[in-house]
Amino acid sequence: MWRFIPSSPGSKPSASPTSWGRCSTARLSSRLKSTASIAASWSRELPANRTTIAAPTRRATASSRRATASILGLPILEPAGPRDTSGTGSQSFLFSPDHLAAVGLTAALCVGLPVAARARPGAWARLVARGLAVLLIATVLAYHLVVALRGDYALDFDLPLHLTDAVGVVAALALWSLRPLAFELTYFWGLTASLAAVLTPALGADDGHPSLLFWHYFVTHSGVVVAAVLLAFGLGLTARRGAVRRVFGVTVAWAALAGVGNALTGGNYMFLAERPQTPSPLDYLGPWPWYILSAALLALVLFALLDLPFRRRRVR
């Protein structure tokens, strides 16, 4: 419906049919040409299939995803990974009260549980370990289930191909069964990759408590760190000879698997395609692809340092 807009700010539009009579033929022609020009520009911007409206991408911002989840009554759950391409969201979460509280609780559990397990050994320590195993598995499964039910599962983003995804499952196995290889992977991966994720979380400013994403992220990362310390210094498990070489070999094999996943899906698992957009230790290891080699060498050094306590035990 056309509406006459007066040229004078102080005048009022008339609702009578004679309003069109007061509009000159030249002005009407100008308006029609302007409207046609706008319509033509819109038509050029539309995709070839104009009946299709593009759906929100998997990389939608946290605020829009939360709004959609709120409208549909769905849980607020997002991937535990970098989403803010500018990195400003993560920087604002880094060392925020929620982050410091999570780090403090993680540190308290890493100290308190092993000390209590050694001071008062008993069946309760195994129960705590198995309880943590159930919590880890339940959290991992809940994440994938909720994202799948939302119809938001993206193969280039949600497959469990990050090292911290793998160690979440491996840590649950180690806590439940105390198997040597599972423990070694949990210990070396947990106190390197998972610990780095706890200290430099890939979360945005609005991802703090009490969002489900906050709990998912820190249960699966802090939980692995706590598991590694509890198993090694609370329950007294010891890495076997050659553990550093074994774990490093498995790490390289997993990186190769992640590389295949990246090639097939276009993803960035294990950050092999590019560094994360959020602050991380990889920022100091050089440009791509050299930071991959630097990270591998750094991992080997850290594994050797983490193996020192077990060398003393093996000598005994």
Please check whether residue 24 lies inside any domain of the structure: no
Rg (the chain; Cα; Å): 28
Residue of 115, 109, 108, 107 lying closest to 235 (CA atoms): 115
Alpha helices, H only, the chain: 19-22, 25-45, 62-72, 88-93, 97-119, 123-149, 163-177, 180-189, 195-199, 212-229, 243-265, 290-306, 308-315
Measured CA to CA, the distance from residue 83 to residue 61 in angstroms comes to: 7
Please check whether residue 74 lies inside any domain of the structure: no
| Contact present, 72 and 146 (Cβ < 8 Å) | no
Measured CA to CA, the distance from residue 253 to residue 272 in angstroms comes to: 13
Measured CA to CA, the distance from residue 32 to residue 29 in angstroms comes to: 5
Angle between helices 163-177 and 212-229 (to 10 degrees): 50
Identify the DSSP state of 54. Answer: P
Domain span including residue 304: 81-315
* pLDDT at res. 34: 55
Measured CA to CA, the distance from residue 114 to residue 136 in angstroms comes to: 19
Measured CA to CA, the distance from residue 11 to residue 176 in angstroms comes to: 80
Please check whether residue 8 lies inside any domain of the structure: no
| Contact present, 80 and 217 (Cβ < 8 Å) | yes
| Contact present, 99 and 201 (Cβ < 8 Å) | yes
Measured CA to CA, the distance from residue 226 to residue 116 in angstroms comes to: 13
Long-range Cβ pairs for the range 98-105 (8 Å, 24+): 98/208, 98/209, 98/214, 99/201, 99/203, 99/208, 101/209, 102/198, 102/201, 102/214, 102/218, 102/222, 103/198, 103/199, 105/222
Question: How many domains does the chain fold into?
Answer: 1
* pLDDT at res. 71: 34
Please check whether residue 55 lies inside any domain of the structure: no
Please check whether residue 16 lies inside any domain of the structure: no
Please check whether residue 31 lies inside any domain of the structure: no
> pLDDT in tens for each of the 316 residues of the chain?
444 444 444 444 444 444 444 444 455 455 545 545 544 444 444 344 433 323 333 333 333 334 333 333 333 333 333 334 344 445 577 888 889 999 999 999 999 999 999 999 999 999 999 999 999 999 999 989 988 998 888 999 889 999 999 999 999 999 999 999 999 999 999 999 999 999 988 777 776 777 767 888 899 999 999 999 999 999 999 999 999 999 999 999 999 999 999 999 999 999 999 998 778 899 999 999 999 999 999 999 999 999 999 988 877 6
Measured CA to CA, the distance from residue 31 to residue 23 in angstroms comes to: 11
Residue written as token pair 């692809």: 289
Please check whether residue 54 lies inside any domain of the structure: no
Please check whether residue 37 lies inside any domain of the structure: no
